[in-house]
């Protein structure tokens, strides 16, 4: 695994190389964490993961453009401030309300959360995961959760 390449599905079997990470620039733990995110935010645009593939020594993620990314309440930029996860409401009517933020020591710690259907939020308890994203613009992982009892 030497590189992680994002492609945009343009339709009609046309794919455009979009973004690339080399293993020398980020660790394998970050490679895996990124592959577990169902959404990718970059340059104000939201993309949905449609395929996660192997191609030789490369990890290939195929994305579909969803549209302009809508900002949530109390968004912060985490670039240069370490690894963080935000937990937010998936409800647009609530402006993707911020429920909790946690710092993480490694991407492996993030992976633990990304692998779960149910996560435990500090001071809140267990919540059901509805989707996950890497917000490249702000340098943060976002996990959207809802009340476990409502499911």
Going from N- to C-terminal start, the domains of the chain cover 3-68, 83-150
Q: Which CATH number fits domain 83-150: 2.60.120.260, 3.40.50.10490, 1.10.540.10, 3.10.20.810?
A: 3.10.20.810
Give residue 151's pLDDT: 54
Give residue 78's pLDDT: 92
Give residue 24's pLDDT: 82
Give residue 85's pLDDT: 97
Give residue 122's pLDDT: 82
CB 89, CB 147: distance < 8 Å:
no
d(CA 139, CA 41): 10
| Tens-level pLDDT at each residue, the chain (151 residues) | 689 999 999 999 999 999 998 888 888 899 899 999 999 999 999 999 999 999 999 999 999 999 999 888 888 999 999 999 999 999 888 889 999 999 999 999 999 999 999 999 988 899 999 999 999 999 999 999 999 876 5
CB 99, CB 145: distance < 8 Å:
yes
Give residue 72's pLDDT: 82
- Total-model pTM: 0.92
Give residue 150's pLDDT: 61
- Segment (H or E) for 129: strand 125-135
Query: Any alpha helices (H) in 8-151, and if so which ranges?
Result: 28-35, 107-114
């Amino acid at each position: 695994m030497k590189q992680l390449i994002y492609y945009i599905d343009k339709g009609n079997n046309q794919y455009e190389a979009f973004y690339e990470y080399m293993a020398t620039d980020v660790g394998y733990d970050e490679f895996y964490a990124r592959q577990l995110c169902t959404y990718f935010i970059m340059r104000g645009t939201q993309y949905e993961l449609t395929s996660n593939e192997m191609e030789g020594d490369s990890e290939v993620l195929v994305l579909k453009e969803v549209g302009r990314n809508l900002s949530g309440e109390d968004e912060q930029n985490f670039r240069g401030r370490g690894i963080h996860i935000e937990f937010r409401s998936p409800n647009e009517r609530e402006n993707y309300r911020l429920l909790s933020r946690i710092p993480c020591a490694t991407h492996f710690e993030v992976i633990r959360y990304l692998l779960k259907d149910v996560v435990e939020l500090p001071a809140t308890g267990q919540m059901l995961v509805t989707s996950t994203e890497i917000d490249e613009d702000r340098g943060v992982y976002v996990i959207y959760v809802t009340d476990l009892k409502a499911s």
